[in-house]
């Protein structure tokens, strides 16, 4: 039996493999450190946005507190490395597990709220996390933690000058989140979650357990966001509450997914590829003026996309396909 759904899924998987392979080749001809850094950050946000998309897109639960999972992920793997010498290759799973559990803990009370009320609750949770870490001496409080350099190593993901290993670590992160989203899309869970997003009452009447669906989506989303945090901490080598737990991070994680297209496989990646370079480039060329021109351009772009394509940039691809189908 062959039909639209199976064909589409196969096509998406093939496209996914091609895109990931292309992203693996991309940095090879680029020697410039600045550009390589830009690619790494773009990949990081693509992965984080996909992690957010699993909860916010597929399950429709708009979280504006994802900085807490990102930040806690940073701290868990860094503390394991600094205090116990456990390298990030293992630490990132611990970070993911802690953040997945944390997402369940947050979800337990918060999923009793829905829609905007849920979103507001997550903002509060994010702020609580930030303030907690800011005043907690064990984790360095406001001073933060330096990640000591212990020699070049893949396990600890530490390299003196090379950027390429970080590129591949982030790419593996993007691949993991993308494949997770692809698998979810085709599974019973994915169908249940989308049903919950579109109409929870109808979903319930068909036997979908709404609360459990939200919790599962939150746990997976939290897991991957924590993993992203662990990788980021190792890349930058220094974390403090302001750089990993601030509320703006929650927005930055969600934005590529929203701009690219929520609840779609490609939206987060496309959104990150457009947004992150624009924000970085406008900051480096215009940011010094002290008048915030870079942020105006950045904000203007978001407004433009929101007005012209509220379904996200990914819908531009759909337009062409639909025109093609009509012609056929």
Partner 1 sequence: MKTLLEVDNLRKSFGGVAANDGISFNVAEGEILGLIGPNGAGKTSLFNAISGEIPPDSGEVRLLGERVSGRGPALCAARGIARTFQVVRSFDSMTVLENVMVGAFARTARPRAAMQAAQETLEFCGLAARADRPAWSLSPPEKRRLEVARALATRPRLLLLDEMLTGLTPTEAQGGVQLVRDVQARGVTIIMVEHVMEVVLPLVSRAVVLNLGRVLTIGAPAEIVKNPEVIKAYLGDRYAAA
Residues that bind partner 1 (CB under 8 A): 1, 3-6, 186-188, 191-192, 194-195, 197-199, 201-209, 263
Answer for the pair 167, 104: CB distance below 8 angstroms, yes or no. no
CA distance 78 to 244: 12
For residues 85 and 80, give the distance between their C-alpha atoms in angstroms, rounded to a whole number: 6
Nearest approach, Cβ of 255 to partner 1 (angstroms)? Answer: 21
Contact 249, 72 (CB under 8 A): no
Cβ 117 to partner 1 shortest distance, Å: 21
Q: What's the closest the beta carbon of residue 83 comes to partner 1, in angstroms?
A: 42
Element (H, E) at 7: helix 4-25
Q: Which is nearer to partner 1, 160 or 324 (CB)?
A: 324
Identify which of residues 203 and 244 has a Cβ nearer to partner 1 in the complex: 203
Nearer to partner 1, 3 or 161 (CB): 3
Instruction: Return the number of the residue (2 or 137) whose C-beta is nearest partner 1.
Output: 2
**Other CB atoms within 10 Å distance of the CB of residue 6:** 11
Return the H-helix or E-strand segment holding 238: strand 238-239
Min dist. Cβ of residue 192 to partner 1 (A):
7
Please report, for the chain, how many H helices and E strands are present, in that order: 14, 2
Q: Which is nearer to partner 1, 283 or 309 (CB)?
A: 309
Least distance (Å) from partner 1 to the CB of residue 206? 5
- Please say whether the beta carbons of 58 and 246 come within 8 A: no
**What would you measure as the largest C-alpha separation in the chain, in angstroms?**
66
């Amino acid at each position: 039996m062959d039909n639209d759904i199976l064909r589409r899924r196969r096509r998406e998987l093939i496209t996914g493999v091609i895109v990931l392979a292309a992203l693996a080749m991309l940095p090879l001809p680029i020697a410039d450190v600045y550009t390589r850094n830009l690619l790494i950050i773009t990949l990081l946000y693509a992965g984080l946005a996909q992690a957010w998309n699993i909860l916010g897109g597929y399950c429709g639960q708009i979280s504006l507190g994802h900085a807490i999972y990102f930040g806690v992920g940073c701290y868990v793997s860094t503390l394991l490395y600094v205090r116990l010498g456990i390298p990030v290759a293992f630490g990132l799973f611990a970070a993911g597990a802690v953040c997945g559990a944390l997402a369940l803990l947050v979800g337990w009370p918060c999923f009793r709220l829905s829609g905007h009320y849920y979103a507001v609750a997550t903002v509060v949770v994010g702020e609580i996390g930030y303030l907690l870490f800011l005043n907690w001496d064990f984790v360095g409080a406001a001073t933060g933690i330096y990640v000591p350099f212990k020699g070049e190593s893949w396990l600890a993901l530490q390299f003196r000058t090379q950027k390429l290993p970080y590129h591949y670590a982030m790419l593996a992160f993007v691949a993991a989140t993308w494949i997770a989203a692809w698998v979810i899309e085709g599974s019973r869970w994915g169908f249940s979650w989308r049903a919950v997003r579109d109409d929870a009452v109808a979903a319930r009447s068909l036997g979908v357990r709404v609360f459990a669906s939200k919790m599962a989506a939150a746990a997976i989303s939290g897991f991957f966001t924590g993993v992203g945090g662990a990788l980021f901490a190792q890349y930058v080598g220094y974390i403090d509450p302001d750089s990993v737990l601030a509320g703006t991070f929650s927005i930055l994680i969600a934005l590529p997914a929203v701009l690219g297209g929520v609840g779609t496989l490609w939206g987060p990646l496309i959104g990150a590829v457009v947004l992150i370079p624009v924000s970085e480039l406008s900051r480096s060329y215009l940011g010094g003026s002290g008048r915030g021109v870079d942020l105006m351009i950045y904000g203007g772009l978001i407004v433009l996309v929101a007005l012209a394509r509220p379904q996200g940039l990914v819908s531009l691809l759909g337009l062409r396909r639909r025109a093609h189908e009509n012609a056929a």
